[in-house]
Structure 1
Amino acid sequence: MTDFTTRDGSVWMPEYLVSIDGATCIGCGRCYKVCSRDVMHLHGVDDEGEILGKCEEGEDEDFDGELNRMIMVVDQAGNCIGCGACARVCPKNCQTHVAADKVAA
C-alpha cells in the first residue's frame, strides 16, 4: 500500500471519482465547475435514458430534438486526483468514489 500524505505530513487517502449515477444526476454542473482536472462533462440523454453524446460548452445542442435532459458523465477518470471537491458540492450525492488503495492501476 502506498502512503499518501499532505504537505505537512498528515496521512491522507485520495478517493477517486469512478462513476456518476445517471438516474440520480440532475445535470446541475456544480461538480464540473469545481473540478480543475476536466474529469467529467455534461452529456445529453434521450427519453429512453440513452446517452446521446457530450454537450459542448457554449453550444445549444438539442441532438435533433432527441434531448430529454442532461447528466454529468465521468469521461476522463484518469485525470482525477481524488480531492473530493465534486462530492462536496453535489446536491444529489450521486457520485461513487473509491479510495486510492482500492483502485486498480
Structure 2
Amino acid sequence: MAYKTRDGSDWTPVFLTKINGDTCIGCGRCYKVCSRDVMHLHGVDEDGEVLGKVTEDDDDDFDGELNRKIMIVDNSGACIGCGACSRVCPKDCQTHVAADLIDA
C-alpha cells in the first residue's frame, strides 16, 4: 500500500509496537508528545513485574512495592505512525514497525 502526505510526497508511517521495559526510564517524554493516548506510565516492582497503570493524581506506591516506572504501549491501535515519540526518547527503547510490515 502506498502512503502519501498532503503534498503528494511518499511517506510510510512507522507504528509504535513496543517499549523495552529494561531500558525505559519512565521519563514521560514520549507520553507528552503523543496526542493519541498510545502509551501510559506503569509501576514496576523490584522483580520487574508490572504492578499497574500509574495515574497523575495517584500517590499510591502499590503498597510499597513500587520500584520504578516505565512506559507501556497499551493502546497500540491508536498510533498514527508519526514517530514523535521516537524523536524525544533519550534511551532509544522503542520498537517501531513500518505500516506495510504490520498485519492488519
Q: State the TM-score, normalized to the length of structure 2.
A: 0.99
Is 1:74 aligned to residue 76 of structure 2? Answer: no
Instruction: Mark the runs of 5 or more structure 2 residues left unpaired by the alignment.
Output: none
**2:82 corresponds to which residue?**
83
Q: Following the alignment from structure 2 to structure 1, what is the Cα–Cα distance between the partners of residues 58 and 67?
A: 16
**1:25 corresponds to which residue?**
24
**1:36 corresponds to which residue?**
35
- After superposition, what is the alpha-carbon deviation per residue over 1:49-84, rounded to whole angstroms, capped at 9, x for unaligned? 000000012211200000000000000000000000
Q: Following the alignment from structure 2 to structure 1, what is the Cα–Cα distance between the partners of residues 98 and 87?
A: 16
**1:57 corresponds to which residue?**
56
Q: Following the alignment from structure 1 to structure 2, what is the Cα–Cα distance between the partners of residues 61 and 73?
A: 18
Q: Percent identity?
A: 71
Give the aligned CA root-mean-square deviation in angstroms.
0.5
Q: Following the alignment from structure 1 to structure 2, what is the Cα–Cα distance between the partners of residues 82 and 73?
A: 16
Q: Following the alignment from structure 1 to structure 2, what is the Cα–Cα distance between the partners of residues 57 and 102?
A: 35
Q: Following the alignment from structure 1 to structure 2, what is the Cα–Cα distance between the partners of residues 29 and 21?
A: 14
Is 1:16 aligned to residue 19 of structure 2? Answer: no
Instruction: Mark the runs of 5 or more structure 1 residues left unpaired by the alignment.
Output: none
Q: Which deviates more from structure 2 when the two are superposed, residues 59-68 or residues 25-34?
A: 59-68
Q: Following the alignment from structure 2 to structure 1, what is the Cα–Cα distance between the partners of residues 38 and 56?
A: 15
Q: Runs in 1 of length 4+ with deviation above 6 angstroms?
A: none
